[in-house]
Amino acid sequence: MFDHLRLSIIIPLYNVEKYVASCINSLLDQNLNPIDYEILIIDDRSTDNSVSIVRKFESSYPNIHVHSQANAGVGSARNKGIDLAKGKYIYFIDPDDYLASNVLKPILDYTDDHDLQILTFSSVGTTNTALYDSSSNTNQKFTIDKMTGIDYIGTIGYKNEVWWYVTKRSFIKDFRLKFIEGRWMEDAIFTTTLFIKAKKMAHLSIDAHRHVKVEGSAMTSKEPKHYIKVIYDNGNAAKEFNKLIEEVNNSENSNLKCLSRLKTRQQSFVFFMMIRILKSEIRFKEVKAIMNSMTEIKVYPLNKFLGNDYKGFTYVLITRVFNIKYLYYALFLILNPFLRMKN
């Protein structure tokens, strides 16, 4: 028996009445004693039935705690969860995603046994909201390779999101890491910052997480103001990555493959920002200002984008066109009126 909570699971909640019960049920269907973990739900002023759903769970399960805050975004909700967490480890999950059954115990056991700061695991993208059986034999013995986060990025690569790993809470606290509030792509900055500071992390080849593809989610919303905000927040993420790349450059464990992958990720924000711009209601004057700012911080032209994670004829062709600034401007002026109407 553990003399403290092993795990704090943090869920930011906002208008997910169709999915949140499935998420919570999956977290309860784990081979962990309820006294060993807590589920912290941070409501961001939902306007649908989400709160009443999670309050019913809270009244039935003593390890579920619901907290409310002013509508401040997912980054703020996760930060509040970090402040409230009492577990040895922290896991972030989105309320429209869920876990396979009985995967948390082996994840925590391996993290404990190997004294890891971060343990990653496998995720499956799906539209199925009841894919509870893991394709992995969770009772088998897994082999893991412990490495630094910089070596992990260089060797294995990584996802931006926060729902495919558990982290030691003291590790987050020691570096005073927080999510940037009020911006999208905050998870990419948080994950990358966390990884490059890690001295002991590994991947466990266990099929654990289900990422549910939801139409009309925050990142797929085409509401004009939101769509433009995501454009600017992609640009901000590219700027923030300059600091992270510099940190790896100055590290004792600097790794050329890691640097290459980080520069690719950085320029991916610019590439997909440029795609969004073509379909947005943004004015041409603003487009030029954005592209000039990307040039100033040396993330445009896209000379590091192709290769690591983005290959193939389509990416090559689009990148070549995008890298000729005045051709991109012409493309915007010609296509934007039609794409904007379609969008």
- CATH code of the domain in which 23 resides: 3.90.550.10
3-class DSSP string for 67-78: EECCCCCHHHHH
Q: Assess if residue 334 is contained within a domain.
A: yes
Q: Assess if residue 275 is contained within a domain.
A: yes
Nearest CA among 135, 122, 126, 199 for reference residue 161: 122
Q: How far apart are CA 57 and CA 75, in angstroms?
A: 24
Tokens at residue 2, please? 């553990």
Nearest CA among 112, 1, 26 for reference residue 9: 26
Q: Assess if residue 219 is contained within a domain.
A: no
- pLDDT of res. 253: 78
Phi and psi of 277, rounded to 5°? -55, -40
Q: Assess if residue 161 is contained within a domain.
A: yes
247 three-state secondary structure = helix
- pLDDT of res. 3: 52
**Helix H or strand E encompassing 92:** strand 89-92
Nearest CA among 74, 75, 63 for reference residue 7: 63
What is the pairing mode between strands 201-212 and 98-99? antiparallel
Whether residue 96 is found in the same domain as residue 233:
no
Q: Assess if residue 176 is contained within a domain.
A: yes
pTM: 0.94
- pLDDT of res. 1: 40
Whether residue 205 is found in the same domain as residue 234:
no
Whether residue 161 is found in the same domain as residue 230:
no
Whether residue 204 is found in the same domain as residue 229:
no
- pLDDT of res. 140: 82
List, for the chain, all residue ranges whose pLDDT scores fall below the cut of 70: 1-3, 216-220, 341, 343
Contact 199, 117 (CB under 8 A): yes
* Cα-based angle 293, 291, 339 (whole degrees, multiple of 5): 145
Q: How far apart are CA 289 and CA 262, in angstroms?
A: 25
316 three-state secondary structure = helix
Q: What confidence tens digit (pLDDT) does each residue in 166-185 have?
A: 999 999 999 999 999 999 99
Nearest CA among 116, 107, 129, 113 for reference residue 207: 107
Contact 65, 89 (CB under 8 A): no
Whether residue 180 is found in the same domain as residue 303:
no
132 three-state secondary structure = coil
Tokens at residue 129, please? 């909201």
Q: How far apart are CA 64 and CA 66, in angstroms?
A: 7
Whether residue 242 is found in the same domain as residue 116:
no
Domain endpoint, select from 175, 192, 212:
212
Whole-angstrom distance between the N-terminal and C-terminal Cα of the chain?
55
Contact 231, 290 (CB under 8 A): yes
Whether residue 246 is found in the same domain as residue 297:
yes
Is the four-CA dihedral 293, 296, 299, 303 of positive or negative sign?
A: positive
**Helix H or strand E encompassing 8:** strand 7-13
- pLDDT of res. 17: 96
**Domain extent at residue 131:** 7-212
**Helix H or strand E encompassing 41:** strand 37-43
Domain count, the chain: 2
Whether residue 170 is found in the same domain as residue 233:
no
Q: Assess if residue 185 is contained within a domain.
A: yes
Domain endpoint, select from 183, 212, 241:
212
Q: How far apart are CA 26 and CA 280, in angstroms?
A: 38
Q: Assess if residue 197 is contained within a domain.
A: yes
* Matching residue, tokens 């993330």: 299
